[in-house]
Structure 1
Amino acid sequence: MLTLRISAPSDLTEQVLDIVGEDPAVSSLALMRGASLQPAGDIVLVDIAREAANEIVGRLEQLDVSRLGSIHIEPVSSWLSESGLAAEKHTPGSSADAVVWAEVTQRAYAESELNWTYLSFMTLATLLAGIAIILDTQILVIGAMVLGPEFVAIAALGLALVRRRRDLGFYAARTLVLGFGIAIGLTTLAALAGRVLGWIAVQDITGARPSTDFIYTPTKWSFIVALIAAAAGVLSLTSAKTGGLSGVFISVTTVPAAGNIALALAFGLPHEIWGSAAQLLLNISGMAVAGWATLAFQQVVWSRMSARRARGLRREQRN
């Protein structure tokens, strides 16, 4: 179940009510006339089945509500309502499976923004990965993977293709390139300082590393894991179930590869630089492809669900 809080100019209110008032996916409706000060107008509160959100939000956008006012989409974690249960049963599909494109797109933009917080997490994760490689410990590698903030930006590349948002694709690509570039650069400087201080020796990187040598040796399994992990991650991002994301972060060798690139740059080890760069690009490309394929499949499925619901509504209107 979702709640829509719609702020609209008064001259649009009746049209908004026409859109939501007779829809069987709506379980409750409230109108507060004159309650909105900016824009000057009314506030409409609507409880709807999650499966119908795309159609209703789309019709409100066609009415220009998002430009002249605002549409807030808020998930309802717990609710008790017989009419709400009836609305969900009446709407095709499952609430847990439903993709609310406005929600997914907003999250993609928000978490792909290149800001100090993103750069800080990326740099800290890459530094941690570098230490994990020096100590040859998988525990720290896992910590670096979980700390890295890059997954949503990678998923945003696929979303940009599916939803035809060129600006989002550029936005996410810029964040990934600059984020990894700055993190690798700062980690390289830290590694050079460690080399000067005698804390890090070339043997720490070129010696036997049974726990972390996979970082600079990409294989077909690296690509397969990236595909599976990205598909699971996108499903977690787009559905009401988000428990799978931590598993995705632990699965894909992006940040550890960036950490190894930084160490190899500090010690001038071209073999490790190219191997780690290949691992990084292989994982990012695999995740982007899988993200696109998963989102494209979901768009097809929910387009058919929407068409099925529209046919049902037309039959009801005729009867």
Structure 2
Amino acid sequence: MMHLRVVCALRDSAAVTDLLTKEPGVAHLAVAPGVGRRPVGDVIEAVVAREVAEDVLRRLTALGVPHRGEVSLRPIHTMLSDAAEEAERSVAGSAGGTVVWDELIATTGEESRLNSVFLGFLTIACLLTAVAVINDSVITLVGAMVVSPDFGPLAALAVGVVGRRRDLVARAGLALGVGFPVAMLVTAVLTWLARLGGLFDPSELAGLRAVSFIYQVGPFSAVVALLAGAAGMMALTSEKTSALVGVFISITTVPAAGFAVVAAVAGDWTRCREAALQLLVNVAGVTVAGALTLLRRRRHVVPLRVRRTRGGGPGGPGGP
């Protein structure tokens, strides 16, 4: 279930109340008349089944509510309510199989924003990878994978392509196109200083065992990237976000970028090229699998929207 909050102008209040009252997937409708000050109007709250949340948001947008007020939606993790359970049972589909498009746009849009925090985490992840390579440490490498924020822009690319959102594609492309070069440059400088200080012996790259999989590109590189991309998109479009940790430690993006830098500093251009290819394979695999998974899951919710529109409810089907 999800918590819906609408701050609407007086002219919209009756239409919003009527819409939510007639929707079977809505429970605990509450109206606080006249409490809104900007805009002057009412505050309306309700509990909405996830299966109809996307449809409700589109119908509220069709009424023009977001242009004159505010519509917010957030998941409810714990709720004890017979009425809410009845509302959820009254709608078709399953909550885990429902995509709330606006929620997905907001999540991926925020996670793909290029800022100092994103650059900081990506740089730290690349540096951890360099340390992992120098010490042939899988544990440190896993830490780098978990710290890395690069899955956000990759997911945003998939969402932007499927939703035809050029702004989201551009934002994700900027984050990846600027973030990786900056993180790799910083890592290269510090790795070079480590070599000058005697902390890194380039000849040790030839004897790597535990982390050699980073630059060894093969059929399973693409398989793992595709599976990770599919799992990541399923986690983002459902309530199984805990699965994202497994996604983070499956894709070999930051490890490949960090290894390429260490190999370049060591003058091992063969392994550097192999690691760079691993990076490209993982970026492409995660993005393609994410887009295909999202296409599949979006088709799953179309029949619900079409059925409600034909049933005479306000609003109608529409793209993002």
TM-score, scaled relative to structure 1: 0.95
Alignment match, 2:152: 152
Alignment match, 2:233: 234
Alignment match, 1:24: 24
Q: 1:1-319 counterparts in 2 under 5 A?
A: 1-205=1-205, 207-310=206-309, 313-314=311-312
Q: Write the distance in 1 (CA, Å) between the matches of 2:244 and 2:162.
A: 21
State whether residues 225 and 252 of structure 1, in contact with CA within 8 Å, keep that contact through their aligned partners in structure 2.
yes
State whether residues 98 and 300 of structure 2, in contact with CA within 8 Å, keep that contact through their aligned partners in structure 1.
no
Q: Write the distance in 2 (CA, Å) between the matches of 1:46 and 1:178.
A: 42
The AA in structure 2 aligned to 1:256 is P
The AA in structure 2 aligned to 1:188 is A
Between Structure 1 and Structure 2, how many residues are aligned? Answer: 313
State whether residues 92 and 309 of structure 1, in contact with CA within 8 Å, keep that contact through their aligned partners in structure 2.
no
Q: Write the distance in 1 (CA, Å) between the matches of 2:81 and 2:7.
A: 24
Q: Write the distance in 1 (CA, Å) between the matches of 2:160 and 2:68.
A: 25
The AA in structure 1 aligned to 2:6 is I
**Distance apart, 1:88 and its partner CA:** 0.7
The AA in structure 2 aligned to 1:92 is A
What SS does the aligned partner of 1:77 have? coil
What SS does the aligned partner of 1:35 have? strand
**Aligned-residue identity in percent:** 37
CA deviation profile, 1:168-225 (whole Å, cap 9, x unmatched): 00101110111111110100000111111111111122x2111111111211100110
What SS does the aligned partner of 1:31 have? strand
TM-score, scaled relative to structure 2: 0.94
Q: Write the distance in 2 (CA, Å) between the matches of 1:17 and 1:227.
A: 44
Q: Write the distance in 1 (CA, Å) between the matches of 2:274 and 2:250.
A: 18
State whether residues 97 and 297 of structure 2, in contact with CA within 8 Å, keep that contact through their aligned partners in structure 1.
no
**Distance apart, 1:18 and its partner CA:** 2.2
Q: Following superposition, which runs of at least 4 residues in structure 1 exceed 4 angstroms of deviation? A: none
Q: Write the distance in 2 (CA, Å) between the matches of 1:104 and 1:140.
A: 31
State whether residues 227 and 286 of structure 1, in contact with CA within 8 Å, keep that contact through their aligned partners in structure 2.
yes
Q: Write the distance in 2 (CA, Å) between the matches of 1:238 and 1:216.
A: 31
Aligned Cα root-mean-square deviation (Å): 1.4
The AA in structure 2 aligned to 1:236 is A
Structure 2 unaligned residues grouped into runs of 5+: 314-320
State whether residues 92 and 308 of structure 1, in contact with CA within 8 Å, keep that contact through their aligned partners in structure 2.
no
